[in-house]
Amino acid sequence: MLLTIGNLRGLREAGVAFAIPTYLFMFAVFGMLLWGLMRLITGTELRAASADYELVGSETGVAGFALVFLLLRAFSSGCAALTGVEAISNGVPAFRKPKGGNAATTLLMLGLIGATLFGGVTAFAFITDAKFAEGDQDVRMVDPATGQTIEHPDPVIAQVAETVFSNFTPGFVLVTTMTALILFLAANTAFNGFPVLGSVLAQNRYLPRQLHTRGDRLAYSNGIIILAAMAGLLIYAYDASVSRLIPLYTVGVFVSFTVSQIGMVKHWNKLLAVEKDPVRRRHMRTSRAINAFGATLTGIVLLVVLSTKFMLGAYIVCIAMPLLFLLMKAIRKHYDRVAEELEPSGEDVALPARNHAIVLVSTIHKPTLRALAYARATRPSTLEAVTVAVDAEESRRLQNEWDALDIPVPLKILDSPYREITRPVLSYVKGVRRKSPRDVVTVFIPEYVVGHWWEQILHNQSALRLKGRLLFQPGVMVTSVAWQLQSSDRLKGRVEPPGPGASRRPPRPSSRTGARPGDGSVSDRE
């Protein structure tokens, strides 16, 4: 919720708030590495508390193919720690110009910093002989002194920090605190990447167009809210288990890595087929070799992750990704079909021959009289009032009142043997339309406007249901004639929510000297 609120505030505001813990984390870890290096230079022996523990299980003491597989699994687990690079490729549209150059520079800096931090912590874990056993492996850590199994060992970085800062407790507190905070803020990677990516896909009609809309803070609010809802659903469904959630993330990331690298190989092949310059061809071959190596490497990681994490939850991603692909193809097909149907043609601009107006009447009251007056003001070719006789006595009373008021509009009473309203009206409108296919039929529906939600329950929604059915009839126009009840007065003076970007738009001064609010000036109209 905090991440969602922060991102809904806007990318610039959220970026500043999230940058401070990131720099503090980098400072803390780099400080830990330098502190440990100085202690090693001075001859201090660094030994983790878990150095004396023993690892017991089926995956210890392996050799041959099992050892190779274990190394590949360890490699894939390590790669999962470096998967944040996709956020840069997804967020290229959010960079300043030149977008590609700035994104490439950021990616290079991320790689250098990440490799340094990751390699440094790994080196100190090896030097201090820190041990750790994942909860999803058939390996457990045992204290030989007591024979007890260590169920929840500390993370490796916490063990390294405790060992390095054994003579400086504030340093250990800083590293562990910043690590916990940076893991919390790491979730913001998706908030930076998915809304922008969703906007690009929506712009190309592969996702609903609402994802391309910016909010009043110029952030893609719909994408942020959808991402937060889905993340909350996953956290609830998996009981916030990290070991069960990580496979979902890792499989999706390495599928995208592999596919994107293969796409780049095809891209270079296409350019090499037409390029004649030897220098440029040599550069393209080098780029193709790099992308082919990357595709092979990430493909191996993907296979290892699928084989080792499939039953731990990775199978859900294997089902969800094809379904999402088919869903996006269906959305694109829908938008293409709608665009084709809405393409203007010659006969669409032809004026209708006549306009037949029908005013629906249930009883004679102010909303009915207003609807009749409005219908007469539109000057239709024909005008009549229509009511449905669900009760014979009420229908006779309505006809007598109509004649007594001498209303200059004929009243037609439709029979309804089963006391139904919608079907007789639809049948009558279809009949009028069938007699003159080149004409249009305009149906005026009087409606109440109430100010409280509970008032909606007290009034039947027959007008709403009838309107919904009439909208599907070709050549039929539906007009709602509103009558505001007194309870709706409380909503007349409410402040409307600001439009997109309104909070960033400064007030414009009046274009005329001495203009006052309410005198019709430009600023007053705005």
Residue-wise pLDDT for 238-278, tens only, equals: 888 776 787 777 788 788 889 989 999 999 999 999 988 99
Distance, in Å, from the CA atom of 58 to the CA atom of 485, rounded to the nearest integer, reads 77
Mean pLDDT, to the nearest integer, of 187-206?
A: 87
378: pLDDT confidence band, cut at 50, 70 and 90?
A: very high
- 326, pLDDT greater than 70: yes
Q: Report yes or no on whether pTM surpasses 0.85.
A: no
Return the structure tokens found at 416. Answer: 């309804």
> Band of the pLDDT at 523, cuts 50, 70, 90?
very low
- Of 498, 362, 342, 360, the closest CA to residue 428 belongs to 360
Task: Work out the angle at residue 57's Cα, subtended by the Cα atoms of residues 54 and 61, and round it to the nearest 5 degrees.
Answer: 80
Using 50, 70 and 90 to split pLDDT, how confident is the model at 368? very high
- DSSP H/E element including 19: helix 11-41
How many Å from the N-terminal Cα to the C-terminal Cα in the chain?
35
CB 417 within 8 A of CB 427: no
Residue-averaged pLDDT of the chain: 83
Residue 429: Cβ-neighbour burial (10 angstroms; 0-12, 13-18, 19+) = buried
Class of domain 352-491: alpha beta
Residue of 462 and 323 predicted with greater confidence? 323
Q: Is residue 503 pLDDT above 60, yes or no?
A: no
Residue type at position 460: N
- State yes or no: cis peptide before 98, omega within 30 of 0: yes
Per-residue pLDDT band for 380 (boundaries 50, 70, 90) equals very high
Looking at residue 420, what is its pLDDT? 84
Average pLDDT, integer, range 189-194: 81
CA 421/CA 98 separation, integer angstroms: 64
Q: What's the confidence (pLDDT) of residue 382?
A: 93
Residue 134: predicted pLDDT:
65
- Helical spans, DSSP H, in 380-421: 392-405
Confidence of residue 516 (pLDDT cuts 50, 70, 90): very low
DSSP 252-284: HHHHHHHHHHHHHHHHHHHHHTT---HHHHHHH
Residue with tokens 């007053």: 524
Separation of alpha carbons 360 and 340, rounded Å: 35
**Side-chain half-sphere exposure of 222, counting CA atoms within 13 A:** 13
Three-state secondary-structure class, residue 13: helix
Residue 508 has a pLDDT of 52
Query: Per mean pLDDT, which range of 81-85, 158-162, 389-393, 394-398 is the poorest?
Result: 81-85
Would you tell me the crossing angle of helices 314-341 and 278-309 to the nearest 10 degrees?
Answer: 120
The pLDDT value recorded for residue 15 is: 67
For residue 32, the model assigns a pLDDT of 95
- Tell me which of 1-10, 14-23, 282-291, 327-336 is least confident: 14-23
Please name the residues in contact with 268: beta carbons below 8 A apart, sequence gap of 6 or more: 284, 285, 287, 288, 291
Confidence grade of residue 501 (pLDDT, cut at 50, 70, 90):
very low
Domain ranges for the chain = 2-237, 255-343, 352-491
Query: Span 292-307, mean pLDDT?
Result: 87
Greater pLDDT, 82 or 498? 82
Specify whether the CB–CB gap between 163 and 131 falls below 8 A: no
**Residue 355: beta bridge partners?**
440
**Token pair listed for 277:** 């310059």
Check residue 463 and give its pLDDT: 78
Query: What does the buried/exposed string (b/e) look like for 308-321 if buried means 16 or more CB atoms within 10 Å of the residue's CB?
Result: bbeeebbebbeeee
Band (pLDDT 50/70/90 cuts) for residue 495 is: low
Confidence of residue 59 (pLDDT cuts 50, 70, 90): low
How far is it, in rounded angstroms, from Cα 293 to Cα 300?
Answer: 11
Neighbours of 455 (CB within 10 A): 14
> What integer pLDDT is reported at residue 226 of this predicted model?
93
